[in-house]
Structure 1
Amino acid sequence: MVDKLANTLRLTAVDERASKAGLYKGMALTDARAQFEHLDIAFASPRKDAALLDSIADWCDRYTPLVAIDEPHGIILDMTGCIHLFGDEISLLKDMHKRLHQRGMIVRSALATSAAAARALARYSPGGIFSENDQEPGLFALPLHSLEIEESHLAGLKRAGLRSVGDVVILPRAALTARFGARLVNRLDALFGRASEPISPRRIVPFCMVERRLAEPLIVMDAVEQILLSLSEELFRCLQQRVEGAREVEASFFRADGNVRRISIQTGRPITGTKTLLRLLKERLSTLSDPLDAGYGFDILRLAAVRTERSQAIQKSLDNRAQETEEINTLVDRLSIRLGNARVLRAVPADTHIPERAVSLEPAVKAKQNSPLEWVADHHLANPPERPIRLFEPPERIDAIFELPDAAPAQFVWRRVRHTIVLAEGPERIAPEWWREHAGALTRDYYRLEDSSGKRFWVFREGLHERGNPNPRWYLHGLFA
């Protein structure tokens, strides 16, 4: 493999035959061709390599949900609690190597008690399974460059006559830190389990997950639906023990040829029933631009609750309001699946006293349940609202006539129509948010006005007379129903 490094074509990877012939990574292409005139080369493609690594990492989800990318060509799997699904460690590695070899890949792996030790043993040793007893001797035998420290520090260790990790780890820690820095000591602590280096999974670890591993790949979609029905029952039994419902469920389909297809379903409320989940799943499958294809068959089917929320028992009300709310939530879920989450929005209250910022729009399936807006709506059933539901964005300018500078307007002209005020309430003073607004933002005084024809308006005066603003502007911000 060849790539351009510092304006020079150099070897970035060599196969086993080239390595035995004396070629090495970083060697100039001209030097390599001086030794072998007919050299078979291929130009490196980091993007394609990263895409291939991502697809392999997706495929590795069949072994554990904790999968992390170890750039540039490694993958780290946390197999804690998963090995028994494959019998033992030997069976697990045999299955992994066999499947990857069938796809033309050469793999070297190591199974150790920590991610740092497994990574080093896989990269700089023949690999294998290392128990707690034989892991330390394997680490002692690793070469110095397995420490992955700066070249200057690596050269210093070699000048001191050190040749392996075992030669370094027995030296006093204080002397190593003073001479080579803290990175070397931290690296040694990670390799020998004295410090943990947690991995960062590339996917969200689900709260609850159920799966079915099939002895023979499954092609018939009717049978797939039956398995999904069984899995959903298991999933909701698991969530029921936690007194939770699923807000986001991910269905994963692992094909026998290594392809993995995932379908995510998000809901506007926590669901706890199998029928609801299957109905939404069918709805989602029917809207896919690329239909689900079994290919050579699915050998693993999985359902995972990625996002959950505490569920509450719903008491049916006498006026059927609870039933109507349930029907609306079901409609929201179906529309979100068909049209996309970004096209079905729900108003969510914001923590601000500025009227035009008091409500924001979020995807309905992501908005939290029991929002303060629902309480506000119920509260206003018995009392007239203090603010209108409909606001103009931006507020519309009006020409106001008032008797006193700080009083409500007696008349105003809006859209070339004059309104004579017979009733006024206010003011409600709202100061600007100084941490958001510009330096010239002014205080507002809001009034609720009713004209001679019974129409009600919400207007405000921008600026105060006593603060040196002789001609404050008036705006109409909203209309009451």
Structure 2
Amino acid sequence: MTASFASLAPSAGRRILALRLPLLSIDRVRRKGSPAGQPADAPLVAVARIDNALRIVALDERATAAGLARRMALASARAIHPVLAVVEADPAADAALLERIADWCDRFTPLVALDPPSGLLLDVTGAAHLAGGERPLLDRVRAGLTAQGFHVQAALAGTAAAARALAAFADGTIAAPGREAEAVAGLPVGALGLDAETAGGLSRAGLKTIGAVAERTRHELAARFGAGLLARLDEALGRGERPITPRLPVPDYTAERRFAEPVATEDIIRDTLAGLAATLAGMMERRAEGARRVEASFFRADGAVRRLAVETGRPTRDPALLDRLFRERLEALADPLDPGFGFDLIRLAALRADPLDPAPATFDGREQEEGDVAALADRLAARLGPRRVLRFLPQDSHVPEASERLAPAQRSAAAPGWPTAAEPGEPPRRPLRLFSRPEPVEAIAEVPDGPPVRFVWRRAVHRVMRAEGPERIAMEWWRSTEGLPTRDYFRVEDQDGRRFWLYRDGIYGRETAAPRWYVQGLFG
């Protein structure tokens, strides 16, 4: 089955699927097997140092059944249940695992947001029909995570706050659109995620449920508990909305193909990418746009996700070009694409699309030549990486070493060109090859301000047969507080026909009594 989305921006009538993994830390340890040196059948707890004491921050069902609780001191827990399996809490590992779970959830929607420390929010607006409806979608997500060894609670509603509250206190609930207030009315006020002071104040006022709080007047609630409570309440009741922040950039265009049976053969994978590229091209053609960055996502049946991206110097919607770039990218992988037990979903997304304006054709073929160079840069970047394919760009400076800079070739396709020669066929006044740093030479000149007649460079003596110049270049005093000397550049040719670009650093008698000479580039 192939699905495509021309626009993935959230729309009215949003539907949010909230996932809560209450035993994330414990599940992470269990998936690796029993902790080394710990009893296999003992209650498992994770501890961290809090208030100068080891306290429980996560515990499994057996530990809860034994009477243990979060923030309990480990010494007190062992007094209640002497035999415990104890591991040190690792928040960084938990966060990394939550990221991997979010990667797996991307197969259902690209709009996945983290809800730390152990939750996720999925914007499934307009995507539930791909799974057969909201209930099949919720059940499928829950079953997939359970099969991977996670305890999961899930709920679906029109706002993130309502979905989050239902997931925590009414697992499996699907609130009908516009009926969030009814769905959350019976939940405890703790479902609002309030601070301890506000929650305690509501409890002392006899307001135990969200419905009871909603029955009080807004003026009364604001006067006693502040506007923050009203905002949380409105979000939970579906009256207000706080947009979620997807963890990954929202693509401009997306096309995907799901497989009833996971695929692993290279030919099927490449054919699928080619077909998805054609689908993307058709979508972009309708809006006169072309892709600049395209990402392929491969979702493995075991939950792992691999992503590969290619960039183009110019907007394109040529399926053949995208197919060729991904082939180059796949062939150049140092870590080959491992299908494992196979991919059950392959997605192609245009992360960046720009207007595609057809350039006017030129009679001299210059446009075709530039297009060929751009296509070559795209292929090299796909194989070597975009940061390894560079080009020189002119800069607004007459100082040679500051007159150009290196930039990624693909991102500088529309950069201004180099100045052309004043007369056709005129030889270059500056060499194409410049040294990273000018190299000192020992030079002898007939007159102080004239060209050299002989110079020594790299221990070799060069006699000057011809010389042109000088080209006087004053340093850019407005960019430096140092008094940099003026340079006089000469193009010289030695007895063997080799041509050099030398300069004298400083004007004799005005700036220095002993000017120094440097060679900065070579002609030919």
* Alignment equivalent of 2:390, drawn from 322, 329, 345: 345
* CA shift for structure 1 position 62: 0.9
* Alignment equivalent of 1:77, drawn from 122, 135, 142: 122
CA distance in 1, matches of 2:265, 2:244: 38
Q: Which amino acid aligns with 1:197?
A: R
In the alignment, does 2:308 pair up with 1:267? Answer: no
Q: How many aligned positions are there?
A: 472
Is residue 350–residue 357 contact of structure 1 (8 Å, CA) maintained in 2?
yes
* CA shift for structure 1 position 233: 1.1
* CA shift for structure 1 position 77: 1.0
TM-score by length of 1: 0.81
* Alignment equivalent of 1:311, drawn from 337, 349, 356: 356
Q: Measured at CA, do residues 388 and 184 of structure 1 come closer, stay the same or move farther in structure 2, by a change above 3 Å?
A: farther
| Most deviating of 193-202 and 378-387 | 378-387
CA distance in 2, matches of 1:368, 1:472: 39
1:29-61 CA-to-partner distances (Å, cap 9, x unmatched) read 222222223345444333332232122111111
Q: Measured at CA, do residues 214 and 474 of structure 1 come closer, stay the same or move farther in structure 2, by a change above 3 Å?
A: same
Q: Which amino acid aligns with 1:212?
A: R
Percent identity of equivalent pairs: 41
CA distance in 1, matches of 2:260, 2:407: 44
Is residue 464–residue 492 contact of structure 2 (8 Å, CA) maintained in 1?
yes
Q: Which amino acid aligns with 2:437?
A: P
The equivalent of 2:419 in structure 1 is 376
Is residue 158–residue 178 contact of structure 2 (8 Å, CA) maintained in 1?
no
The equivalent of 2:322 in structure 1 is 277
* Alignment equivalent of 1:300, drawn from 345, 356, 365: 345
CA distance in 2, matches of 1:421, 1:307: 54
CA distance in 2, matches of 1:471, 1:188: 81
In the alignment, does 2:76 pair up with 1:4? Answer: no
CA distance in 2, matches of 1:128, 1:463: 84
CA distance in 1, matches of 2:362, 2:422: 18
The equivalent of 2:10 in structure 1 is none
Q: CA RMSD in A?
A: 3.9
Q: Measured at CA, do residues 480 and 288 of structure 1 come closer, stay the same or move farther in structure 2, by a change above 3 Å?
A: closer
CA distance in 2, matches of 1:262, 1:51: 17
Q: Measured at CA, do residues 31 and 472 of structure 1 come closer, stay the same or move farther in structure 2, by a change above 3 Å?
A: same
Matches within 5 A, 1:131-280: 131-168=176-213, 183-192=228-237, 196-280=241-325
Is residue 348–residue 360 contact of structure 1 (8 Å, CA) maintained in 2?
yes
CA distance in 2, matches of 1:354, 1:170: 74
CA distance in 1, matches of 2:519, 2:415: 28
Is residue 506–residue 512 contact of structure 2 (8 Å, CA) maintained in 1?
no
TM-score by length of 2: 0.75
| Most deviating of 66-75 and 190-199 | 190-199
* CA shift for structure 1 position 446: 4.5
Unaligned runs of 5+ in 1: none
Q: Which amino acid aligns with 1:347?
A: F
In the alignment, does 2:434 pair up with 1:391? Answer: yes
CA distance in 2, matches of 1:419, 1:353: 26
CA distance in 1, matches of 2:400, 2:77: 71
Q: Which amino acid aligns with 2:490?
A: L
* Alignment equivalent of 1:449, drawn from 490, 495, 498: 490
Is residue 421–residue 428 contact of structure 2 (8 Å, CA) maintained in 1?
no
CA distance in 1, matches of 2:212, 2:277: 55
Secondary structure in structure 1 of the residue aligned to 2:153: coil
CA distance in 2, matches of 1:231, 1:176: 53
* CA shift for structure 1 position 217: 2.6
Is residue 459–residue 478 contact of structure 1 (8 Å, CA) maintained in 2?
no
* CA shift for structure 1 position 65: 0.8
* CA shift for structure 1 position 318: 5.7
1:269-293 CA-to-partner distances (Å, cap 9, x unmatched) read 4443222222222222222233333
* CA shift for structure 1 position 470: 7.7
1:346-386 CA-to-partner distances (Å, cap 9, x unmatched) read 22345666542342223334x2313213x535888666656
CA distance in 2, matches of 1:150, 1:139: 19
CA distance in 2, matches of 1:172, 1:359: 67
* CA shift for structure 1 position 136: 1.7
Q: Measured at CA, do residues 21 and 327 of structure 1 come closer, stay the same or move farther in structure 2, by a change above 3 Å?
A: same
Is residue 346–residue 363 contact of structure 1 (8 Å, CA) maintained in 2?
yes
* CA shift for structure 1 position 224: 3.2
Is residue 348–residue 371 contact of structure 1 (8 Å, CA) maintained in 2?
yes
| Most deviating of 104-113 and 151-160 | 151-160
Q: Which amino acid aligns with 2:483?
A: L
* CA shift for structure 1 position 258: 2.1
* CA shift for structure 1 position 408: 5.5
* Alignment equivalent of 1:58, drawn from 100, 103, 113: 103
Matches within 5 A, 1:315-334: 321-334=366-379
